[in-house]
A and B are shown apart, each in its own frame.
Chain A
Amino acid sequence: MSDLLRDDERDLVERAKRDPRQFGALYDRHFQQIYRFVYSRVREQTAAEDVTSEVFMKALKAMPRYQDTGRPFAAWLYQIAVNAIADRYRTLRPAQPLEDFHDLSIAGPALDDLAAHRDEVRRIWTLVESLPHQQRTALVLKFQEDMKIEDIAVAMGKSAGAVKLLIHRGVTRLRDEASTLRPVE
């Protein structure tokens, strides 16, 4: 985020802290990314709508207590979302298979590389689902949401070092499990 955008967001946040009626601008700015993240985790539209509503309603009510730590406002929203999803995961599992969600057809660096890699990429992301919850969340925020480590740390309520460790463990486990599943060539 550029300094200009950061200043602009800081201004929006300050206004919303003073007057909750200004929260709409923050909602407009962040709805899409939070909804997309939530959907990617719960993979069912109604559930995604429920969780997204919960995230923004909690954020609105907590705005007066929000402290600017120098990280993007979105990191705080992700934190609320991560917790809301975790609450939901305690009783529910994703409804839709992962391979239906990660759109491998438009993913690759070049069209003709896709055919070669898409199965492997799909398999890796399927394996992500079998990782422990914290590792899974860290990997999704890093590689799917493209967040910085410091922001993931805010979202997960951990230190940056702990997040790196989670990512390292997650990627290592994926490497090990992927190698056992790799077809004989």
Chain B
Amino acid sequence: MNSYHDPELEDVLQDDELRRVAAMLGTARTPEPPLDDAFRTDLRRQLMQEAWAMSDGRNSWWRRAFAPPGLAWAGAAAGLLLIAAVVVYTSSQPPGGLHQVIVQSPFDGNRSVALQQPILISFNQPMDHRSTEQAVQITPATNVTFSWDSNTLAVQPASGNLAPNTQYQVTIGSSAKTASNKPLATPQTITFVTQPPAAPSPSPSPRPTPSNALGEKQLSPLGGAATLTAQWSADSSSIYFVDGKGALDVVSAKGGAIVVIAPDGVTSPSISPAGDRIAYIRGGKIEVLTFATAKTEEATPTPAPTLVGWAKDKLVWAAGDGVYAQGDNGQTKIAPLPATETSKALSIAPDGAHAIYQLDQKLFVLDLGTGKSVEILQASATFVGWSPSGTLLLYATPEHLVVADPLGVTQTSLPAGEASWSTQDAILIGGDTDLFQVRPDGSGSTRVSNGTYHSPLWAPNGTSFAFVRGGSLWVGVAPLLPPQPTAADQAGVVVKSFMDARLNIQPDLATTLLDDSGKKAYAAGGLSLVITGDPRFSRYYVLTQEVVGTQPDAVRFVVRLVLTHGKIDVTSYEETLTLVRDVTSKSFLIDAATAGPHRDLGKGAEVVSVDVAADAIKVTFDSDLDPGTINDGVLILDSKGKRLDATASYANRTVTLSGLDLKEGAQYKLVVLSTVRDVLGHNVAAEYDLDVFGPTVKKHGSHKETPSSPTPSPVAAG
């Protein structure tokens, strides 16, 4: 912490202690504050309204002419003022003055217009609303409604939003007339490009913490129990716990009466994996309560059991000399423990493959298959728990929590605290002052709350948890950890860097993102890494992306490159990039690339986004379509060219083919026939084909891979 160095403050922070304080100040990072998107949008609209008003005021000749001078200037300065007024009038008017209708829009020339807003068009004088609205032409074809605010016309797409990744041209034809019945001299056009579709928000934005954000509830006093000995029911509805008198009690997680199951002397309660039974030790016996029948069976193993658990629905227990299981012919010793009084079994893994025992203040992992033990080589280590599958374990040292494999090899070090490992692969860490969540790999550390949270214990549902506060048992609900970046997210970052480098004509940078095979694809005679000429490469966007492999991770992107002449997008083509995760560096590189044919733009509806799921494909167009042309116009074919049965529905420029059952990794072809028409009756210029693959689902820690979703990409060249 004393290594703080800032050249700007070198001369004023010469003391080590001052630098240490400065380093600490720089340590705290500000999280994103709660932000209402509606506020952001609304403020922007207010600002733009004000800006337009300012602009109108600026261009208003009479304001310029008469506003600043007061009456004091009137007399002798009147002549000068008159001259000035004439000068200002002349200079501030657009060519032609009020005789010429000027059309402007804040969107004109913008290459990244947000989707959720109307198109604003302003005129320099009052317009006849009806003729002006009738003179509006929009490409691509879009159903719209109109509203006016003074001299500004708001053109609102009927579907709610503008189409993503789309260049709009809005033309006010010469049939538009002013309020005084003067026509436009010439048609006037504004041109702009919209943003990609918004990515789905992984989690709601944080809000100021309410007083009981976690829905905490006190369930029962623990009657002086020193530690929490408890088990959740399999459906996470209730908690079995041992109180200070050794009674086994159960209480609903919603609160209410406490039911006593066994009145005293209970240790080591353990719910069966199926949730139908609970075993515990009492009076030197193992008792097993079956919930359905409310009957308790007893077993009296010899030697006396010290610990009971379950391994794949089979009762297992530990005694002083070993670990036992209940077999068809009575008890079976499955592994011995060291024959010494100082050894003590602590826990049996949920998969029944390992047990933990303590010997002379040291922890050992016992392989129940081989009977061999491995020592945890950490001083003062105490066992905390197992991963849900039992393949990893968690132990505590005075400084850390440690995630280790059954050979004792450290996988991760986490901050110290009292911990529990959830079925969703989140580790909850509590203590006197804070409650944290973190993934087992150490990522995603998030403070859940301030306060006292001793002995946190996740419920099987991975959201509720029990804890001890003030000698009582409490429950709360923890928010889910934000999802980890998926393979598709990581590959998407590489695609963006690659395409940006090409857009900015940085071939050397782009080449660093290609593997050997990828370099061949862009070698001489292959695809063009640098795209020059006219029309020029002006922007790109990701049309669709799919995870197509998991060993190694492979992600396929279809990127559309748009070529522009002057201000107008005139043609586009698609490159299909396959990225593979490098085994050594773990980074994605572009391994394969192919290019499709050029398509002319502005001649009928175009597909601008494709979202593939196993049961449905969503195809978003840039135009409003004639719904009657959808059913036989948008098809999905299998690899043999056979049309799949699917239900086509249409809303808001998006055709959804549902009722599919796409097989993982299988190739399909999305086809948009030229029979599809937009609302103006224009057919799709030429049949459009896109290869898609049945989505691959892969689990990444606590987050299941999203098989396919468009990645927004800021894409426009300047």
Which residues from chain B contact A149 at a C-beta distance below 8 Å? Answer: 8-9
Interface positions of B from 1 to 18, Cβ below 8 Å from A: 1, 8-9, 11-13, 15, 17-18
A175 near B442: Cβ-Cβ < 8 Å: no
Residue B274 lies at the interface, judged by CB distance under 8 Å to chain A: no
Bound: A21/B25 CA distance, A = 39
Which residues from chain B contact A142 at a C-beta distance below 8 Å? Answer: 9, 25
CB distance from B208 to the nearest CB of A (A): 6
Bound: A24/B718 CA distance, A = 17
CB distance from A138 to the nearest CB of B (A): 11
- Known contacts A96-B208, A139-B25, A171-B18; A48 and B33 CB within 8 A of each other: yes
Which residues from chain B contact A108 at a C-beta distance below 8 Å? Answer: 27
A40 near B30: Cβ-Cβ < 8 Å: yes
Q: Which of B12, B20, B54 has the most CB of A within 10 A?
A: B12
Residue A181 lies at the interface, judged by CB distance under 8 Å to chain B: no
Which residues from chain B contact A139 at a C-beta distance below 8 Å? Answer: 25
Residue A144 lies at the interface, judged by CB distance under 8 Å to chain B: yes
Residue B411 lies at the interface, judged by CB distance under 8 Å to chain A: no
Residue A3 lies at the interface, judged by CB distance under 8 Å to chain B: no
Which residues from chain A contact B21 at a C-beta distance below 8 Å? Answer: 124, 171, 174-175, 178
Residue A87 lies at the interface, judged by CB distance under 8 Å to chain B: no
Residue B450 lies at the interface, judged by CB distance under 8 Å to chain A: yes
A57 near B47: Cβ-Cβ < 8 Å: yes
- Known contacts A21-B55, A115-B416; A143 and B22 CB within 8 A of each other: yes
- Residue-wise interface mask of B (19-42) relative to A, using a CB-CB cutoff of 8 A (1 in contact, 0 not): 011101111111111111001100
Contact partner of A99 among B9, B110, B450, B718, CB < 8 A? Answer: B450
CB distance from B61 to the nearest CB of A (A): 17
Residue A185 lies at the interface, judged by CB distance under 8 Å to chain B: no
Bound: A35/B32 CA distance, A = 10
A105 near B445: Cβ-Cβ < 8 Å: yes
CB distance from A83 to the nearest CB of B (A): 19
B12 near A164: Cβ-Cβ < 8 Å: yes
Interface positions of A from 126 to 161, Cβ below 8 Å from B: 128, 139, 142-144, 148-149
B413 near A112: Cβ-Cβ < 8 Å: yes
Bound: A124/B25 CA distance, A = 7
Residue B357 lies at the interface, judged by CB distance under 8 Å to chain A: no
Contact partner of A53 among B17, B27, B43, B55, CB < 8 A? Answer: B43
Bound: A161/B497 CA distance, A = 41
Which residues from chain B contact A67 at a C-beta distance below 8 Å? Answer: none
Which residues from chain B contact A45 at a C-beta distance below 8 Å? Answer: 33-34, 36, 207-208
Which residues from chain B contact A25 at a C-beta distance below 8 Å? Answer: 110
Residue of A nearest to B108 (CB): A21
CB distance from B442 to the nearest CB of A (A): 5
Residue B438 lies at the interface, judged by CB distance under 8 Å to chain A: yes
B9 near A125: Cβ-Cβ < 8 Å: no
CB distance from B42 to the nearest CB of A (A): 9
A21 near B106: Cβ-Cβ < 8 Å: yes
Contact partner of B30 among A24, A119, A144, CB < 8 A? Answer: A144
Interface of B is mostly: mixed
State the total of A-B contacts with C-beta under 8 angstroms: 164
Which residues from chain B contact A107 at a C-beta distance below 8 Å? Answer: 27-29
Bound: A158/B445 CA distance, A = 39
Which residues from chain A contact B13 at a C-beta distance below 8 Å? Answer: 168, 171
Which residues from chain A contact B718 at a C-beta distance below 8 Å? Answer: 8
Interface positions of A from 26 to 57, Cβ below 8 Å from B: 27-28, 31, 35-36, 39-40, 44-45, 48-49, 52-53, 56-57
CB distance from B459 to the nearest CB of A (A): 23
Residue B631 lies at the interface, judged by CB distance under 8 Å to chain A: no
Contact partner of A24 among B18, B58, B106, B417, CB < 8 A? Answer: B106
B106 near A106: Cβ-Cβ < 8 Å: no
- Known contacts A60-B47, A102-B30, A171-B18; A111 and B39 CB within 8 A of each other: no
Residue A79 lies at the interface, judged by CB distance under 8 Å to chain B: no
Residue A104 lies at the interface, judged by CB distance under 8 Å to chain B: yes
Interface positions of B from 34 to 83, Cβ below 8 Å from A: 34-36, 39-40, 43-44, 46-48, 50-52, 54-55, 58
A125 near B12: Cβ-Cβ < 8 Å: no
Bound: A45/B209 CA distance, A = 12
Bound: A53/B43 CA distance, A = 7
Residue B307 lies at the interface, judged by CB distance under 8 Å to chain A: no
Q: Taking beta carbons and an 8 Å cutoff, which residues of B are in contact with A? A: 1, 8-9, 11-13, 15, 17-18, 20-22, 24-36, 39-40, 43-44, 46-48, 50-52, 54-55, 58, 104, 106, 110, 207-209, 399-400, 413-417, 433, 436, 438, 442, 445-447, 450, 718
Between A and B, 13 residue pairs with Cβ closer than 8 Å are A20-B54, A23-B47, A49-B39, A56-B43, A60-B50, A103-B30, A106-B31, A112-B399, A112-B400, A142-B9, A149-B8, A165-B12, A171-B21
Query: Given A105-B445, A117-B1, A165-B12, 7 other A-B contacts at CB below 8 A?
Result: A21-B48, A21-B106, A23-B47, A111-B445, A117-B27, A124-B21, A142-B9
Q: Taking beta carbons and an 8 Å cutoff, which residues of A are in contact with B? A: 8, 19-25, 27-28, 31, 35-36, 39-40, 44-45, 48-49, 52-53, 56-57, 60-61, 96, 99-109, 111-112, 114-115, 117, 119-122, 124-125, 128, 139, 142-144, 148-149, 164-165, 167-168, 171-172, 174-175, 178-179
